[in-house]
Amino acid sequence: MASRDSDYGAFMEKFVLQPSSSAHQLPLSGLTFAIKDIRFDVDGHVTGFGNPDWARTHSAATSTAPAVLAVLSGGATSIGKTIMDEMAYSINGENKHYGTPTNPWAPDRVPGGSSSGSAVAVGAKLVDFSLGTDTGGSVRVPASYCGIFGFRPSHGAVSTAGVIPMAQSFDTVGWFAWDPKILNRVGRVLLQLPDDASLVRPSQVIFAEDCLQLSSIPSDRITQGLVKSVEKLFGGQIVENVILGDYVKDKVPSLQHFIGEGNREQEYSIPSLAALSSARGLLLRYEFKNNHGDWVTTVKPDLGPGISEHVWEAVRTSAENIDVCQSVKTELRAALSALLGDYGILVIPTVPGPPPKLQMDPSALEVFHAQAFSLLSIAVVSGFCQVSIPLGLHDNLPVAISLLAKHGSDGFLLNLVETLHDTLKEELQE
């Protein structure tokens, strides 16, 4: 790991926010955390959204986001706000204005975005946990790249009040931790769940074979430890496989609108999941335009390479096929709910490979990002909860796997990750 003499360029602004009352015996007592600068309002501070023009044209917040208040009330202490990608419109973690936080496990690689600083602060153990947001992948991707746990909750499960919206159909407040016990404790506070670590046994653990084949990392390296851990804890009879692309194609008929219409991504990805990513991207751009189009066209902000093109593409988006996107959401949630039931788990790679090198040409990452979003869109469009679990290093770079559970099953998923951890750690060390 890189030296920890600095803050790894993770922080935008340092300040201390302490619990409003005595923190003794509270669930998060003694823990420190960081807050993504994007979207989380903190009373008296400007919410910068990763861009100096945004900070210049917006005044300080007059209240604090409920998600931040919740963890403060839980006994945690904040030490500041972290750097993020401009307007949350990237999964790389590079920011031309404020610098790119250093990936603590791979300094020559991107930290992942858009919650880059939040992930780096946890990965470097500068804090115990951090708050991020995940609209398209902005918690799960940097968690994978920085070798830590990252949780995207069920859509709507954690309040997004006091958080600058990107696309309300997909926006979630997520969190990072380097320890699954802390991940669970933070989750129970944010999700307002009872402090109950008792595990409901999973009914099935389904490995998406076609998704796992998208990864450039050998499938056995990603799945073997998890399969053995599940077999030891719950028995091999609950392990199953699925060709997820075929299942989604059959069960989500509205995706036909997005399949085969000159979509180049489908050439090197799973066609139905590439179509799912297309539907996600269209609805995201449309809602981003409704939220921020007027500001972008009036201010004409200075945006970094790649991000500028995405933002202006969003500003030009029309309402065509938006109703179809809503149908895709409804159909996908029903289809995956039927596949998993109340206590099933779906297993996919978080991303299709290790973190890319810094400052790569965007065109060189086109295939990687297309494959990544086909995986990331499964939870985004269905609204299901997803956790990215670190699996150590492969060729000296962080590796991760993801578990998804039905919408509303966040507590079950958090407990499962904590239960699996010790056995999984033993399997990975063998």
Residue type, 127: V
Q: In the annotation, is 363 catalytic?
A: no
Query: Is residue 87 a contact partner of residue 108, using CB atoms and an 8 Å limit?
Result: no
Tell me the C-alpha distance between 261 and 289, whole Å: 24
Q: Retrieve residue 131's tokens.
A: 């708050």
Q: Is 363 exposed, middle or buried (0-12, 13-18, 19+ CB in 10 A)?
A: exposed
3-class SS letters over 369-385: HHHHHHHHHHHHHHCCE
How many Å is the Cα radius of gyration of the chain? 20
Q: Work out whether the CA dihedral 304, 36, 411, 64 comes out positive or negative.
A: negative
> By the 8 A CB rule, do 32 and 130 touch?
no
Check if 169 is active-site: no
Tell me the C-alpha distance between 260 and 267, whole Å: 10
Residue 230, sorted as left (phi over 0), alpha (psi -120 to 50) or beta, turns out to be alpha
Q: Considering only CA atoms, which of 144, 164, 147, 195 is closest in space to residue 49?
A: 164
Q: Which helix (H) or strand (E) holds 283?
A: helix 271-299
How far is 34 from 14, CA to CA, in rounded Å? 9
Burial of 335 (0-12, 13-18, 19+ CB in 10 A): middle
Distances (CA, A) of 349 to 212, 272, 364: 6, 17, 21
Check: CB of residue 140 under 8 Å from CB of residue 148: no
Residues 234 and 63: their CA atoms lie apart, in Å, by: 46
User: Of 90, 114, 116, 118, which residue is the catalytic one?
Assistant: 114
Say which of 78, 116, 138, 382 is annotated catalytic.
138
Interaxial angle between packed helices 271-299 and 366-382, expressed in degrees from 0 to 180 and rounded to the nearest 10: 90
Is 329 a residue of the active site? no
Q: Which residues are part of the catalytic machinery?
A: 36, 114, 138
